[in-house]
Amino acid sequence: MTKARIVINRAVLLEHGKFEARVKVYEIPKSLKFPQGYKVSCSLVERETGILRVLLDNHEPFGYHLHTKLPEDKSFRAGVDVKNHIEAIRLFFREARKVYNED
């Protein structure tokens, strides 16, 4: 079995350091669970509290989806219509912007 290979592993501070956005993308063998061959995790964390505010990830049976009701409702998922991991990352940063513009 081929191992996962990390293709993106970045963290960036947003809103004058109040938030940290973390983006990880792994290239993995294509499968039913990951038909495009990428596992994606994008998270927005409040740095002072460590609270996760937004999470975008992908796995079956949901495909790419957002967890936007964090930390109150960890099980809430909103499906998103993206073609690949690049579009998913762009969408994540648009959602992150909504969170820190509310604060």
- pLDDT, one tens digit per residue, over 11-68 is 999 999 999 999 999 999 998 888 899 999 999 999 999 999 999 999 888 999 999 9
Report the Cα 76 to chain-centroid distance in Å.
Answer: 14
pTM summary value:
0.91
The pLDDT score that the predictor gives to residue 103 is 67
Which run of H or E residues covers position 46? strand 38-46
Cα–Cα distance measured from residue 87 to residue 85, given in angstroms and rounded to the nearest whole number: 5
The pLDDT score that the predictor gives to residue 2 is 67
From residue 83, how far is each of 26, 45, 47, 71, 91 by CA, in Å?
Answer: 16, 25, 31, 27, 11
Mean pLDDT lowest for which of 85-89, 90-94, 98-102? 98-102
